């Protein structure tokens, strides 16, 4: 089997641990990922990988390999490589201690594992300034530049014609904003009126927050409507 470069580097620093320490290291480790969703549990006896729509893969837990970067578990069907580097799962404001790569039957999955914590402050995942790029998959109207900024529990932005501001709460991957105050400038173009109403209506609902492969935030309502946010330059 050809190991990834990182695995090969980790093998250089193998450390022999007492059996009791190895057993402790192998117990109760978990990891997870998105796109697609998957979860991994490593116990003292078995290692189990699950993803929706597929039968769980369960194997006997091998001896853990301790390297410079993190821990490695290798079996015929499941290979796990951890790196002790902070990791966000893109679905919540939790930060995990490890970045994890799992290979199952030849397919590679990437995600986070180890201890999880919630950073100080509200909504580290969404903090900053964003351009509102698309609504339910459709680009915003030409000539408009709606935007939103999340900072220290305060939300503000431009909905197309009018500015808005208020407070927000972000926890467990869900955003709740408002009530929002807005200016009352008249939009001369109907397309701007419709777009602004759509944006403000979405911010008035509880939204789930995720990050797509392009690094953009996707805010989703319970009925499937979405708002895609692209980071402002310099973020």
pLDDT of 95: 75
- Complete domains list, the chain, with CATH: 5-117 (no CATH), 128-231 (2.40.128.270)
Q: What is the pTM of this model?
A: 0.50
DSSP helix/strand/coil, 18: coil
State how far the Cα of 111 lies from the Cα of 86, in Å rounded to an integer.
Answer: 11
pLDDT in tens, 46-84: 999 998 888 999 999 999 998 778 899 999 999 999 998
H or E, element range at 26? helix 19-26
For residue 142, what are the CA distances in angstroms to 62, 125, 155, 190, 199?
Answer: 57, 28, 24, 13, 16
């Amino acid at each position: 089997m050809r190991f990834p470069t990182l695995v090969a580097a980790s093998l250089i620093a193998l450390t022999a641990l007492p059996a009791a320490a190895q057993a402790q290291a192998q117990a109760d480790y978990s990891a997870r990922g998105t796109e697609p969703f998957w979860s991994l549990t490593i116990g003292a006896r078995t290692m189990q990988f699950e993803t929706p729509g597929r039968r769980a893969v369960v194997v006997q837990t091998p001896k853990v390999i301790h390297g410079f970067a993190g821990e490695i578990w290798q079996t015929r069907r499941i290979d796990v490589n951890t790196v002790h580097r902070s990791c966000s799962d893109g679905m919540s404001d939790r930060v995990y201690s490890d970045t994890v790569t799992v290979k199952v039957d030849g397919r590679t999955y990437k995600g986070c594992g180890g201890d999880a914590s919630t950073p100080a402050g509200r909504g580290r995942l969404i903090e900053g300034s964003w351009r509102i790029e698309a609504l339910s998959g459709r680009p915003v109207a030409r000539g408009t530049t709606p935007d939103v900024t999340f900072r220290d529990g305060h939300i503000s932005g431009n909905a197309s014609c009018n500015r808005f501001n208020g407070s927000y709460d972000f926890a467990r991957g869900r955003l709740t904003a408002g009530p929002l105050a807005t200016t009352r400038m008249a939009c001369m173009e109907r397309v701007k009126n419709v777009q602004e109403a759509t944006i403000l209506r979405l911010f008035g609902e509880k939204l789930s927050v995720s990050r797509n492969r392009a690094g953009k935030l996707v805010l989703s309502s319970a009925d499937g409507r979405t708002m895609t946010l692209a980071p402002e330059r310099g973020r």
